[in-house]
Structure 1
Amino acid sequence: MAAPTASVRDADRHRTPAITGLTDLLDRHVRHRPRARALVVTGDRIHLSYHALATVVDDVAARLGDTGLHRGDAIGLVGANTAEFVVALLASARAGLVVAPVDPALPASQMSARLEASGAQAVLLGPPPADAGPIAQADVPVWSLDLRISPAGTATAVLDTGARVVRRVRGGGAELSADDALVLFTAGTSDQAKMVPLTHANVAASVQSICATYELGPDDATVAVMPFFHSHGLFAALLASLASGGCVLLPEQGRFAAPTFWDDMRAVAATWFTAVPTIHEILLDRSAHEYPGPQVVPLTFVRSCGAPLNAATQRALERTLGAPMLSAYAMTESTHMASSEPLPHDGPLKHGSVGRPTGVDLRVVDQNGHTCPAGAQGEVWVRGRTVARGYLADPAGTAHSFRDGWLRTGDLGSLDEDGYLFLTGRINSLINRGGETISPEYVEDILAGCPGVTEVAVFAIPDATVGQRVGAAVVVCEGEGIGAEQILQYCRQRLSAAEVPDRLEVVDALPRTAEGGLDRRAVEARYAH
């Protein structure tokens, strides 16, 4: 079968958005295309135009301006992927506030700790996911935002801000200014998460880079798969789509739902979507019964980000969807995307890579900070307009990870002669077995190629003799009947003796972070002892 290709876009329809940040994200389209659809919302899939969206955003921004909040103050935002989240985000920015989105599914104690650490002076609360717990007890005002959306596509905000804010400096709030747009928490377990301040200039550079890389324009539409409280869903799906004049469908429950995904894609005439590999695997597994075919949903490309995508899965998805599958590399600290595979007419696709740098400088360095030659492994460093200035309220973490404008990512990888980046693992997850260094991500990639295996986690097992041994937890397809010994035999034919897992368990499921990535700390706690 011929390799999937993407058609060359009409150059007149694609234009890199001239924005300065969150505050003017909608302006150009409100002036020139006010009736174009910006969002598709609710179970009735009502179209909300750029004019309607901007009108309700301006209304909420004006109300926030009367609360006693000052420009540069942090405001928490808790909610699912709903119209309320979008309006609260853009209205807060227009009011000069710094938005700190928080996962609505966090336990109340962790949510409260994050809001306190960010220095939030108040909290905007949108509709939570159906299974979310109660909102944290906050010692700042909590204001519920509800949008009444008519079948004709007009929106009215219900927002009772109550008493004025009593401001006090706390947490990371003392380090924020009116130049800042967002405070995002890094992915991972709660006690590992760091606060990343992102300026409006960071936001503009990131959105422009995403739009340019994928040639997004007014003819494009997508479904919001990833949560907006993390950079993946926020920048790649929501902000890039709105800045380019495209459209985003917000699923009825405010989050990804596999049974309704393809109906949503068809309803919005989606041209692309972005997700983590876990979701791609789910869609692939269900495709025989649910995917309507490329004639019904003709995709220009599909994007994968947030975790390594197995090359076999990538090829299978391309065959199934009839569209190129583009892997990207991103971090919260670089305002999401740092590299991506290009659209096919812009360069070759190299399965196993995460493509070329996108709007940033990227290099691979050795332990002494010297640039590695092509093909040599080292730590990935990133520099550019999207890179944050550091972490909030964490001078030690900032000093370690940010140096002379460069972000030290902690990721291991290599660049080939064409400048494509190949990731090989995380520095702090390497397994040291008797002096031999083993990449768990490499072992996972081999295990994932075993027929019948759907998910894999490789981890270190403490050992008094060799320091660490290799452990693995594996999820297999239902009904495959494959066992641990068969999987290990597959490994022995493809891995060195040191890399073959000393212990392998077949499990029902693996723990995930809120963004859908593998929760390595939870895996180790559950299986490594």
Structure 2
Amino acid sequence: MAVPAAASVRDANRYRPPAVTGLLDLLDRQVRERPYARALVVTGERVHLSYRGLAALADDVADRLGRTGLGRGDAVGLLCANTAEFVVALLGAARAGLVVAPLDPALPSPQLSARLAALGARAVLVGPSVSDAVLPVPRWPLRVGVSRAGTVAVTLENGGAPEVPGVAGELSDHDALVLFTAGTTDRAKMVPLTHANVAASIQHICATYELGPGDATVAVLPFFHSHGLFAALLASLASGGCVLLPERGRFSAGTFWDDMRAVTATWFTAVPAIHELLLDRSEREYPGPQAQPLRFVRSCGAPLNTATQRALERTFGAPLLSAYGMTESSHQVTSEPLPERGALKQGSVGRPTGGEVRIVDRSGRACPVGVEGEVWAHGPAVARGYPGDRDGTAYTFVDGWLRTGDLGALDEDGYLSLTGRIKNLITRGGEKISPERVEDILAGCPGVAEAAVFAVPDAVYGQRVAAAVVVRAGDSVGPAEILRYCRDRLAAFEVPDRLEVVAALPYTAKGGLDRKAVRDRFAR
């Protein structure tokens, strides 16, 4: 039976997500009921850190921060890789009533300074192995010592915290986080998320995948973005699971399967680029029958072509569940369900999880089933706006709805299929072309590992379609063969006018294709 092009899903099964109110009580139930269960596996020696131990460290940091003169609702930055220091600093600052802004440690000093200044952060908690960048506010080094015997200790060097102008005055102790959207300094936006936003997101993720104390995962993606933070770290800790933090806090394809085995992982989440990397290396590195059985594998952050999805499922012996989310929605908006909870539809990103999705045309009217339009999202995990940016807030947040900027359509079962990004559309002689669609076709060509499609200016058509592709190691497929493959599957105006085989494509820290860098590098 057909339904309107809007959908919502309620958790109707027996699983109940963890009852948390935000970062403040994230660990409380586990500390009461399972204090000695492992929460984290850390360092190269893979030492276990229990829920009780993690909570004690967070309380210690909260106590120290409470004596610095910072008030509830004050903002602090957090510069750290995916190490124990990140988790302890995040939870400790939250327990002290502070608002935490995780930042990418790899950003150049001017970008870090610009973000901290715009926020009005009063200090920065700094983990190990972070560069000595010159910052506009005090650096407070934080270290966690974990021995093989299980003893733990924390040190925090702190001093004064001057008042700094910025948008921090728009924050309160109801806020838990400020995350920065992906992009360069001039395009990145600040997104404040309340404890209620955080709790809703965690509950939706846990309910979708029925996460519990029997689950464990490896942290693949950085915690300074919402994907790694919410899906891998916070949902796991709230549900009583365990997270292994790779050595030095960074993903390594070479140690990934050893890490998965070490933590007895039941699932993991990553962006398509990492899935492609693991698949390409699987013949040499995937342990096969000796691998830890997985309940599911999750993909989010960019479109995953169906050929890769099928290959991943065959190789890893687990369902691949595609999800969709963004920073402004506290990560997850939709996801494919577990196989026992609903149909898996390759090419879709599943059904809404804990909120609503509707498809809207250019006039603001809801589109019928199957008709493409802009994806709008609504629910308790959606942020309130962008502090210090009234115009951006007014455009993006409309009567409680989040305008995502993504194009898509809902089917009769309420499953969302994404077709592109509005700002990425290429206009060739009046025809609108989705680069994501062309990339999906290119990625399906035998021998092609990755593809990026972009516009190049043209005096006659306005824009033409160009593509840069990476060929799999050992394959000799060339531009002529790739274009022949495209002509059989694309409209004539969608076929790239120019195609170049390149050694590698640039990616953002979040793991998505860096389209600006692609244009700068290849649109010559």
Report deviation, 1:159.
1.0
**Aligned counterpart, 1:79:** 80
**Aligned to 1:338, what secondary structure does the other structure show?**
strand
CA distance in 1, matches of 2:454, 2:252: 30
Deviates more, 1:503-512 or 1:181-190: 181-190
Q: Is the 8 A contact 1:189 1:519 kept in 2?
A: no
Trace 1:429-508 onto structure 2 (pairs within 5 A): 429-508=424-503
Query: Given the alignment of the two structures, is residue 166 of structure 1 paired with residue 162 of structure 2, yes or no?
Result: yes
Matched residue SS, 2:89: helix
Summarize deviations over 1:4-29 as a string: whole Å, max 9, x none.
Answer: xxxxxxx98x5411111001000010
Q: 2:145 aligns with which of 123, 144, 148?
A: 148
Q: 2:289 and 2:351 mapped to 1: Cα distance?
A: 28
AA partner of residue 164 (structure 1): G
* Contact 1:383–1:407 (Cα < 8 Å) also in 2: yes
Structure 1 segment 3-152 matched on structure 2, within 5 A = 15-128=16-129, 134-152=131-149
Shift of 1:294: 4.9
Indicate the structure whose relative CO is greater, using CA pairs within 8 Å and at least 6 residues apart.
2
Displacement of 1:36 in angstroms is 0.4
SS in 2 for 1:456: strand
3-state SS of paired residue (1:67): coil
SS in 1 for 2:57: helix
Residue 294 of structure 1 contacts residue 321 of structure 1 at CA under 8 Å; is this kept in 2? Answer: no
Q: Percent identity?
A: 71
> Aligned ranges for residues 319-398 of structure 1 at < 5 Å?
319-398=314-393
Measured after TM superposition, the shift of residue 464 of structure 1 is 1.2
Does the Cα contact within 8 Å between 2:374 and 2:408 map onto a contact in 1? yes
Please give the alpha-carbon distance, in whole angstroms, between the structure 2 residues aligned to 1:478 and 1:188: 30
Task: Give the whole-Å Cα distance in 2 for the aligned partners of 1:38 and 1:503.
Answer: 51
**Structure-2 separation of matches of 1:213 and 1:268:** 22
CA contact (8 A) 1:446 1:494 kept: yes
More deviation in 195-204 or 388-397?
388-397
Instruction: Give yes or no for the alignment of 1:233 onto 2:228.
Output: yes
Q: 2:274 aligns with which of 263, 275, 279?
A: 279
4+ residue runs over 3 A deviation: none
TM-score normalised according to structure 2 size: 0.96
Deviations 1:236-262 (A, max 9, x none): 000000000000000002111000000
Q: Distance in 1 between matches of 2:210 and 2:327?
A: 22
Shift of 1:295: 4.7
Deviations 1:486-515 (A, max 9, x none): 111111111111001001010001111111
SS in 2 for 1:259: coil
Corresponding residue of 2:415: 420
- Aligned partner letter, 2:163: R
Indicate how the Cα distance of structure 1 residues 294 and 422 shifts in structure 2: closer, same or farther if over 3 A, else same.
farther
Instruction: Find the aligned partners of 2:184 and 2:418 in 1 and give their Cα distance.
Output: 22
**Structure 1 stretches of 5 or more lacking a match?**
1-10
Amino acid aligned to 1:143: W
How far, CA to CA, are the matches of 2:113 and 2:386 in structure 1?
A: 19
Q: Deviations over 1:98-134 (max 9, x none)?
A: 0000000011111111111111100000124xxx6x2
Conservation of the 8 A alpha-carbon contact between 2:375 and 2:404: yes
SS of the residue corresponding to residue 255 of structure 2 reads helix
The offset of 1:141, in angstroms, is: 1.5
CA offsets 1:222-245 (integer angstroms, 9 cap, x no match): 000000000000000000000000
Partner of 1:314: 309
Distance of 1:109 and 1:48 partners within structure 2: 36
RMSD: 1.1
The CA deviation at 1:166 is 2.2
